[in-house]
Amino acid sequence: MKFLLWDMRVAKLPPLPADLALPGKPDLAALADGQLCWLGHACFALKLRGKLILTDPFLSAAAGPFGFGPKRFLSPALPAEELPRLDLIVISHNHYDHIDTRALQSYRWRAETPVVCPLGVGTLLRRQGYVRITELDWWQDWSVDGVAVTALPAVHFSGRGPFDRDQTLWASMAIAGGDRKVWFGGDTGYGEVFREIGERAGPFDVALIGIGAYEPRIIMESSHATPEEAVQIARDIRARVAIGMHWGSIMLTPEDPFEAPARFRRAALEQQYGEANAWILKVGEVRSF
């Protein structure tokens, strides 16, 4: 960890690519079935069976308590207070860049909106005013009105401070509705478990996979995939299309924060996944799947 802290001290933010984000704000309420919008980092809005679903709402300026921690260099596509009413929030684990309490408190329909999360995470959500909380263990299901969520394994860890390491569960999530199925990876390194996910829960129409925050490997190998490993995960879980996320908004680790997309597409070509099946979205972009 000392090496990582030193690397972050000397890491420099390169110039932001001109096409990193779309201008304006997306109209999430207007999403059609089978469409999604990347709000930045691991936060997506998607529509299935007429239900508007949000993943891992990190929408504040910093990933840490009381405004401390790594700062965003790119604002989200939409601030939390401007979110429309959601039908479901899905959360993968309790790290600050995935559970943003300031954003959760700014959302106006806390008491009405269901939240699905891994075991133990509900306590934190209740403190933010959420009531309709379902905690899942790996391979457990939840469903309502034709939309189903299954908590699946991930190679990661949990914790929001020095004394709660792995006290709550972390997970990837399968979200299904109608004839479409989405895999949301949250945070994960690579592991053999993804072949099991592909066999037991696949195939998937689209996989939302982290491709950033992977250096130095000696530290990050057990928790964050490289872009090349992200393609392997997509192949293992049998996803038709993979969308790279968890890059382009905040520097959590010292690698160039804009190198991941090119590596991701190149790996898709080299692994015969298909470069056209490795999607890179702009923040705020809406895409059909």
Angle at 149 between CA 197 and CA 157, to 5 degrees: 60
H or E, element range at 8:
helix 2-10
Question: Rounded to whole angstroms, how far apart are CA atoms 65 and 63?
Answer: 7
pLDDT of residue 8: 56
Would you tell me which CATH number, out of the four given (3.60.15.10, 3.40.50.2300, 3.40.50.300, 3.40.50.720), belongs to the domain 35-288? 3.60.15.10
- In sequence order, what DSSP letters do the residues of 136-147 get, joined into one string? E-TT-EEEETTE
Is the preceding omega at residue 65 within 30 degrees of 0, hence cis?
A: no
| 153 SS3 class | coil
pLDDT of residue 66: 87
Q: Which residue positions in the chain have pLDDT lower than 50?
A: 2-3, 5-6
Tokens of 186: 């949250």
Question: Rounded to whole angstroms, how far apart are CA atoms 110 and 231?
Answer: 35
pLDDT of residue 67: 85
pLDDT of residue 155: 98
pTM of the model as a whole: 0.96
Query: What percent of the chain is modeled with pLDDT above 70?
Result: 97
Question: Rounded to whole angstroms, how far apart are CA atoms 78 and 80?
Answer: 6
Is-contact 53 180, C-beta < 8 A?
Answer: no
Is-contact 104 128, C-beta < 8 A?
Answer: yes
